Every structure is written in structure tokens, then in C-alpha cells.
């Protein structure tokens, strides 16, 4: 019996994610969007690709949540996208309202599901979905670290002219300018990157990784990245649905790990059938820990703004 995955938001990220999941064949997909007929049209197009890619998975488009009922996993991509000159922070309150409304519907129709949040600003939206859902922390987490790490690995592979498969790296912290690429844990074929590349070049690649999303936004002029983000989401979906026990950088709600409490931040985590099954607390140097704390502080600022806005709404 195939699993059931709902993707909320039929824009570029959501639709491409739905297509990737459907192509794998082991999960039926419900694509939800508020725009009339848009998810239905995209779902039908994907369904008609099934005979070519060899997938019997069903894709259903909907403008409501009834068809999503009893989903095993829900991916939330709904929200407005970043435009040139717009920071992730600019998106905060609009996307907070959107993700709050979506989460309410998801919880009502799929009370036992696992939620992967993707909407930007990522860490703050994961926090919002976690708090809005009332779910335990193992069932709400976010995609960002895999994407940031993939960008870092891509740039390293290009620079050294090696296979991306041989580049292993970790990017922790918030999905923004304060993200923390862990150079000390970055290897190529098991060889520390510091033995293969000058420190100045490593610093350049770290900075390019931090600007990775903005670089694509500037090139596209309208819209933002979706091929790599959808691939990262699909890796997380696979890890959960196939109980792979993958250790991946994800945005999770921390309860004292890394000295951070009550905040959603990117750290290594084990993903399996139980969702986020374990936070993997690796040793950090004083400098790395300071960078992670700085990144967490940036996330906390956004969360404080959200909490203030919610308090004002409830008055």
C-alpha cells in the first residue's frame, strides 16, 4: 500500500516536489493550492507522466483539504516568494499568517501526520508551524540545511573538479546570512577540505553558500530557487517514508541541545519513520558554537516579532 503525501502550495517548489515524489512511485500525492484549477491542472499533467516514468502513484489536485485527509506526511511550501531586493525577513508576517492557516487545516484533516515546513523565512516558519500544530517536535521540522549543504558541496566539487558524491559537508544554523558551514567537518573522499584548498578559497565558497539563494533570485529576476529545494525536500520525504534513518541537517525544535532551548534551528538530525527521531549533538569548537549562537539569535529576533504580532492580534 502506497503512502499518502500532501504538498500544500502548487507553485514552483511545491509542484516540482510533488512531481519528484510521484515519479518515485511509492506515495500518492495530493497537491493543494488556493488558486482555482491550478493544482488540478498540474496534478493531471503529472499523472499523465506516470506511464512514461513507470509510476502508478496517483496525483490529485485540490483547492481544499478534504482530499488530503489522513496523509502520512505533509509538506508546506505555501507562502509568497522572495523577490529581488527582498530579504527573507520581509516575508515574515505575511507567511506567518499563511502557514498558521495551513497548519490549522492540516491538523484538522491529518492529525497523525508528520509535517515538513519549507516556507521562508524558514526557521521562523518551522517555529510557527510547530507552535500552531501542537504536535510533538519529532513530527514537525523544516528543510533548509540539506539545501544549504548541497550548495556548499556543489561549489566545492566545481572548484576541485571532483564528483559531488565524494564531497561531504554540513551547514548548520538558520537558513539565512548567518548560516554556519562547518568547514572542519567538510571532506572530499574522506580528506579534510583544508588539505585540498587554500583558506581564502574556502572562505569564498562559504560566503557564496550563504548567498546561494540570493544569487539565484538575482539571476531569475522573478521568483526563487526550486529545483534544488524540491530535491532536498524529497530526500527528507524518502528518509521518513522508507524509514532510512538518514542523518541530515534539518531545522528542528531544540530542547537544550547545543545549548539552545525553545527555538527551531538547523542541526544534524536522524530522520526515519518516527519523523525527527534524534538530534545528533556533534562537538563544536568555541568559534563554531559562537557562530551557531549568533545564527540562533537572528532566528530568535524573527520569532520575537512573530510572537509580538500574535499577541497584538489576540488583544
Q: 195, 202 in Cβ contact below 8 A?
A: no
Q: Which three cell numbers stand for residue 208?
A: 557564496
CA pair distance 6, 76, nearest whole angstrom: 8
Is position 175 annotated as part of the catalytic site?
yes
Q: Strands, DSSP E only, in the chain?
A: 3-8, 27-32, 59-62, 73-76, 114-117, 140-142, 167-168, 171-172, 180-181, 187-188, 191-192, 246-255, 261-272, 275-279
User: Residue 10 carries which DSSP code?
Assistant: -
Which of 4, 109, 175, 210 is catalytic? The answer is: 175
Question: Are 44 and 18 in contact, with CB atoms under 8 Å apart?
Answer: no
The three-point CA angle 165-169-175 to 5° equals 120
CA distance 57 to 175: 32
Residues near 189 by Cβ (< 8 Å), separated by ≥ 6? 162, 166
173 Rama class: left (phi>0) / alpha (psi -120 to 50) / beta: left
Identify the CA nearest to 304 among candidates 293, 296, 315. Answer: 296
CA distance 292 to 131: 22
Q: What is the largest CA-CA distance in the chain?
A: 58
249 exposed, middle or buried (CB, 10 Å; 0-12, 13-18, 19+)?
buried
Catalytic residues: 175
Amino acid at each position: 500500500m502506497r503512502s499518502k503525501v500532501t504538498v500544500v502550495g502548487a507553485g514552483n517548489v511545491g509542484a516540482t516536489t510533488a512531481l519528484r515524489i510521484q515519479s518515485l512511485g511509492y506515495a500518492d500525492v495530493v497537491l493543494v493550492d488556493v488558486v482555482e484549477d491550478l493544482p488540478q491542472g498540474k496534478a493531471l499533467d503529472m499523472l499523465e507522466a506516470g506511464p512514461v516514468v513507470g509510476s502508478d502513484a496517483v496525483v490529485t489536485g485540490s483547492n481544499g483539504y478534504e482530499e488530503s485527509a489522513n496523509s502520512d506526511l505533509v509538506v508546506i511550501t505555501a507562502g509568497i516568494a522572495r523577490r529581488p531586493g527582498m530579504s527573507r525577513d520581509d516575508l515574515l508576517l505575511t507567511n506567518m499568517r499563511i502557514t498558521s492557516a495551513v497548519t490549522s487545516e492540516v491538523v484538522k484533516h491529518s492529525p497523525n501526520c508528520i509535517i515538513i515546513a519549507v516556507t521562508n523565512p524558514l526557521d521562523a516558519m518551522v517555529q510557527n508551524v510547530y507552535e500552531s500544530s501542537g504536535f510533538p517536535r519529532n513530527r514537525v521540522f523544516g528543510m533548509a540545511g540539506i539545501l544549504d549543504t548541497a550548495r556548499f558541496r556543489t561549489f566545492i566539487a566545481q572548484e576541485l573538479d571532483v564528483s559531488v558524491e565524494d564531497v561531504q559537508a554540513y551547514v548548520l544554523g538558520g537558513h539565512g546570512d548567518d548560516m554556519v558551514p562547518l568547514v572542519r567537518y567538510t571532506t572530499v573522499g574522506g580528506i579534510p577540505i583544508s588539505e585540498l584548498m587554500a583558506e581564502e578559497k574556502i572562505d569564498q565558497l562559504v560566503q557564496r553558500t550563504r548567498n546561494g539563494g540570493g544569487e539565484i533570485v538575482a539571476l531569475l529576476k522573478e521568483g526563487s530557487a526550486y529545483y534544488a529545494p524540491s530535491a532536498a525536500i524529497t530526500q527528507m520525504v524518502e528518509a521518513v517514508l522508507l524509514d532510512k534513518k538518514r542523518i541530515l541537517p534539518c531545522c528542528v525544535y531544540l530542547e537544550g541541545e547545543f545549548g539552545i532551548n525553545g527555538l527551531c534551528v538547523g542541526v544534524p538530525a536522524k530522520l526515519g519513520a518516527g519523523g525527527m527521531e534524534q538530534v545528533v549533538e556533534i562537538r563544536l569548537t568555541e568559534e563554531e558554537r559562537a557562530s551557531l549562537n549568533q545564527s540562533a539569535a537572528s532566528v530568535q529576533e524573527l520569532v520575537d516579532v512573530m510572537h509580538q504580532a500574535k499577541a497584538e492580534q489576540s488583544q
